[in-house]
Amino acid sequence: MAIKYIPEPFRIKSVEPLKILSKEERIQKIKEAKYNLFLLKGEDCYIDLLTDSGTNAMSQDQWAGVMRGDEAYAGASSYYKLIEAGKDIFNYDYIQPVHQGRAGEKVLFPLLLGAGKLAISNMFFDTTRAHVELTGARCIDCVVEAAKDPARRIPFKGNMDVERLERLIGEHGAENIGMIVMTITNNSAGGQPVSMKNMRDVAAIAKKHHILLNIDAARYAENAYFVQRDEAEYKNKSIKDIIREMFSYADTFTMSAKKDAIVNMGGLIGVKDASSPLIIKTKANCICYEGFFTYGGLSGRDLEAMAIGLYEGIDNDYLRYRIGQIEYLAARLDDAGIGYQSPAGGHGIFVDAAAMFPQIPYTEYPGQVLAVELYKEAGIRSCDIGSYMLGNDPDTGKQLHADFEFTRLAIPRRVYTQAHTDVMADALVEIKKRASQIRRGYRITWEPPILRHFQAHLEPIC
Ligand SMILES: *Cc1c(COP(=O)(O)O)cnc(C)c1O
């Protein structure tokens, strides 16, 4: 194997013991959970890779910040510390804390969208899509074609297809497009990054047509690391300078701080220009939905931890280790001939379950099959990002066929070690060895009308 594990730039000071169930116990637990990983108890999972959102380990400085948190209702010192950090890193005039990313969407999107409007993105994350649709508007995904081929190894597979974007604006009319959203990194395409060049091109189009450009910024720091590593003219630029340039091309951002700000709860809205009429409206919506605009649905201690985490998340040594851990796992899968959305993206590995189980049709959910096998094999909790998650056509009730059948192993930040990473790889290698013997997938025995994957009950087809 060509890639060496990048040693952790930290050591362990506080320990969270893990329970390891026997294989027989795991088989029983997943059966009791109706073969839905979301219905397992967290304590029954040895390695929990359900998401990298809010599952991060905070540092000693952040925990010290928790004690220093100022709980004043209005104008807490922790609020000022947070907005100073936000202004410094993003170079935006207005920074609004909210309790998580979707809260930012709920506050900002109704100000820009409504019935008859469209929003175009490189790819919408599921809650982002939901908040666009809740305003009455509709979404169009416009990612580059290369993103749809997991085996195609080119950088910046998260990019917007700019030619198609121009065509879409021409077809629908710029006046009907409420905003363009650049999701960095592109979560739904497998944590794939967006290049600075692509951001510049999209910004020029948005400007030409007077369309607002919003960044969905959950993994902005990981994205900046990829720009520094893979885009020649940024090799010698600092992560912070790259972030400032990237954000200079947009007008607003919404951000889940549960990812790259390395906290367990939090989010931000940013408005670049102090004279924007959006600021006063953002404050008003925030007061209605989240709380007074100097706390935005968070405790003072959360604001303090986020202010510190924002800086820890853009540290070059940390990012090198973070992306290195994912690449190490990817290299182990390469050695075993296991396909995944490649090259490895920012926050996890999206294993190509359709390639592992070619005998299992999308109607029997290959991504879910692999997720259940990973739990049985090693107590690893992952999730399906495929037809099982996508659900049924709302008009016909027929199962939709997703572009991919992925099983996502999302890696929490600063949580698992190299030995844990080897457990992940070893489990996938073992499953691959017996993959052809798994003939059938799952059927759904009960499902709720929307976002079914969180709650549905399944059973194996025999
Ligand atoms: C997580 C995420 C969100 C939503 O954020 P929450 O904090 O989970 O509400 C929005 N967009 C992207 C790209 C995300 O990854």
* Ligand 1 centre distance from Cα of residue 268 (Å): 11
Q: Could you list the mean pLDDT of each consecutive 10-residue stretch along the chain, which spans 462 residues?
A: 90 96 98 98 98 98 98 98 98 98 98 97 92 93 95 96 98 98 95 98 98 98 98 98 98 98 98 98 97 98 98 98 98 97 96 98 98 98 94 87 94 98 98 97 93 94 92
User: What distance in angstroms lies between residue 435's CA and the mean position of ligand 1's atoms?
Assistant: 33
Closest CA to 61 of 245, 315, 402: 315
- pLDDT number for residue 316: 97
Q: Beta strands 380-381 and 267-271: pairing type?
A: unpaired
* 216 part of the active site: yes
Instruction: Decide if 259 is catalytic.
Output: yes
The binding-site residues of ligand 1, defined as CB within 6 angstroms of any ligand atom, are 53, 100-102, 125, 127-128, 183, 187, 216, 218, 256, 258-259, 267
How far is the centre of ligand 1, averaged over its atoms, from the C-alpha of 372 (Å)?
25
Distance CA 228, CA 225 (A): 5
Ligand 1 atom nearest the C-alpha of 186 is 13
pLDDT at residue 2 in the model: 76
Question: What are the distances in angstroms from CA 49 to CA 10, 108, 185, 379, 418?
Answer: 21, 30, 18, 10, 15
Cα 304 to middle of ligand 1, angstroms = 20
Which residue, by CA, sits nearest to atom 4 of ligand 1?
Answer: 101
- Reading the block at residue 308, the tokens are 């510190």
According to the model, what pLDDT value does residue 331 have?
A: 97
What pTM does this model have?
A: 0.96
Active site residue 172: no
Complete DSSP assignment for 305-316: HHHHHHHHTT-H
Mutate to test the pocket of ligand 1, among 52, 53, 131 (most ligand atoms within 8 A of CB): 53
For residue 104, which atom of ligand 1 is closest to its CA? 9
